[in-house]
Structure 1
C-alpha cells in the first residue's frame, strides 16, 4: 500500500519558478531561488521570518560551501555566492563558458563534495540544443561530464555515493536514469532506465535522497512528489495543492521534514513553499569542498 501525505503551504512569496530548496542546519533555515526573477529567499522555520536578496544573474541551483557562502550554478557558469546584509555578491571565473542565453539548471553535491549541474538552452526543444553535465571540485577544477539533456534535473546520489540518479524534464525526452558512480573519479557508467513518464504520472523535476536509499522526485504537472525504492517501486506520495512542485530537500532537527518548492502557472497558482513531516529521514547533504 502506498502511503500518502499532504504538504502544507508555509510561505507564499509569489515566485515564478521557485527551485533548489537548501537546508541550513546551522541557521535552522531553508533557502531557495526564484530562477527567472533572480531572487534568493531564506525562511527561518522556527519564527517564520522570510527575507530575500536580489541576484545579478539567474541561479538554477546552489549548495552550501564548506569555505563559507554558497557554490552556485548560474547563467555565467559556476560561481561563489556570498550573502551580505544588503546584497548578494558573486565571484565568477570557474566556467564552463556557456553560449549566449544558456544557463545552468539543476545541481547538487556528490558525497565527496563536488558540485554538479547541467546546462540548458533557452530553446531546449530545438534539434541541436542538448545540454550536458559539469562538475566543479577542489581548487575550482571544472570537469565536463557529458550526457545529452533537454532540461536536466533530478540529481541525487545513493547514501553510499555509488549510484547517481539524473532526469530530463522535457516532454520530448522524459526519463530518470541511474548510473554506477565512481566516488573517487566521478565517472558515470552503465546507465539504466529507472523511471519513466508513465510510472511517475508527471514530468520528473528536482529530487532528493533519503537515508533508506529511496529517491524522492517531484512529478511536475501531477501535484505530487514520489518516493521510489531502489527497485523503482513507488511506496509513498506527497500531495501539494498546486500542479507543479519543482524540488524538495529534507530539513529539521532529524531531517524528517520535506521542504518543497513550486512554480506558478497562470490560472492554477503555485510559486509557494510547502512543508510536511514524514516518517522517513533524509540525508545531510554534503557541502561543496572548495
Structure 2
C-alpha cells in the first residue's frame, strides 16, 4: 500500500471529493477557501475556481456541469465557462447555516446536509435534504449539529449518515426505499465515542462496507455492514475529512483534509492524499439526475 500527497497546496478545509468517471478526474472543495477544485491524476494538475461563498458539497452531472451545495443553497456550475446559476435555497431563513456533506442515491437524487457556522448553536439546527431531478427539495431528517457521513450501500437500500459533533459522534443506518427516496427504521450503526476519531465523511465500497474518515484521529476506518471494525488505515494528517474512490478501477482512495488553527504541528494538513494498493474497490457515485 502506498500513501502519497498528490496536491501539495493545502486547503483550509478540504472536503467532498467526488470522482467523475466520465472525465477521470476528482472534484473536491475547499469550504473555507471558497473554491471548487478538480484534480487530474494523469497529469498531477489541480485546477480551481473561486466561489462566491462557502461550498460544502457537490455532485457531478451528465452535462459536465457540477451541482453545488453552497452556503446559500443549491447551484449549477459550468467549469468550462465559469457560469454559476443559483437554483434554490431551502434554508434562506437561516443565514448562519451552510451545506456540509452530500452524495447521490442510485436514482440520482442528491442528499445534502446543513450545519451552523461560527459560534455553536444552542440547539441542533442542521438537517438533511433530498433534491430531486425536478428540483423538488424535501427536508427529510432534522435535529443534527454537524451533518456528515452520507453514503449508500451498493444495492441502494441502506442509507448511512452521521453527526460528527463531539457530543454526538454517531453513525446511523436506515432502510431506504429507493423508489420513493424515503428512509425508515433508523438505528445506531456505530457509536464512535471510544474511537480515536469522530465520524466525518463516509463512503461505501463494492463489498458493502462503510468507510469513515476519522477526523481528529488520523485514520480511516472500514466497518462491515453489521457495524464491526474491519480495518483501519493510518493517514499522515490528523484531520482527514472524507474519502472518495477513484481511478479507472475505482481502487484509489482519495482523502481530503483540513488545517485547524491552534492544533499541534501537522505538516501535511489540508493536502489531498491518494492511497493505492489497498486492495479495495469502491462504488461509482451516480451523477445528479436533474
The offset of 1:195, in angstroms, is: 0.9
Is 1:138 paired with 2:137? no
Matching residue of 1:216:
211
* Aligned-partner Cα distance in 1 for 2:158–2:284: 17
Matching residue of 1:241:
236
Report matched runs for 1:133-282 at 5 Å.
133-266=128-261, 267-269=265-267, 270-277=269-276, 278-282=278-282
Q: How many residues are treated as equivalent by the alignment?
A: 284
* Aligned-partner Cα distance in 1 for 2:189–2:128: 18
> 1:140-165 CA distances to partner (integer Å, 9 max, x unpaired)?
11111023110000000011111100
Is 1:83 paired with 2:79? yes
* Aligned-partner Cα distance in 1 for 2:249–2:210: 18
Structure 2 unaligned segments of length 5 or more: list them: none
Q: Is the 8 A contact 1:115 1:136 kept in 2?
A: yes
Q: Is the 8 A contact 2:91 2:97 kept in 1?
A: no
* Aligned-partner Cα distance in 1 for 2:56–2:155: 26
* Aligned-partner Cα distance in 1 for 2:73–2:251: 32
Report matched runs for 1:94-113 at 5 Å.
94-98=88-92, 99-113=94-108
Q: Which runs of 4+ in 1 moved over 6 A?
A: none
- Cα RMSD for the two superposed structures: 1.5
Q: Is the 8 A contact 2:124 2:143 kept in 1?
A: no
Structure 1 unaligned segments of length 5 or more: list them: none
* Aligned-partner Cα distance in 1 for 2:231–2:142: 30
Please, which of 56, 59, 66 is the counterpart of residue 60 of structure 1?
A: 56
> 1:76-99 CA distances to partner (integer Å, 9 max, x unpaired)?
1111121136xx332113231331
Q: Is the 8 A contact 1:24 1:31 kept in 2?
A: yes
Q: Is the 8 A contact 1:124 1:150 kept in 2?
A: no
What secondary structure does 2:193 align onto?
helix
Please, which of 47, 57, 78 is the counterpart of residue 51 of structure 1?
A: 47
Q: Is the 8 A contact 1:7 1:239 kept in 2?
A: no
The offset of 1:68, in angstroms, is: 3.1
* Aligned-partner Cα distance in 2 for 1:125–1:265: 17
* Aligned-partner Cα distance in 1 for 2:15–2:56: 7
TM-score (norm 2): 0.93
Is 1:118 paired with 2:113? yes
What secondary structure does 1:204 align onto?
strand
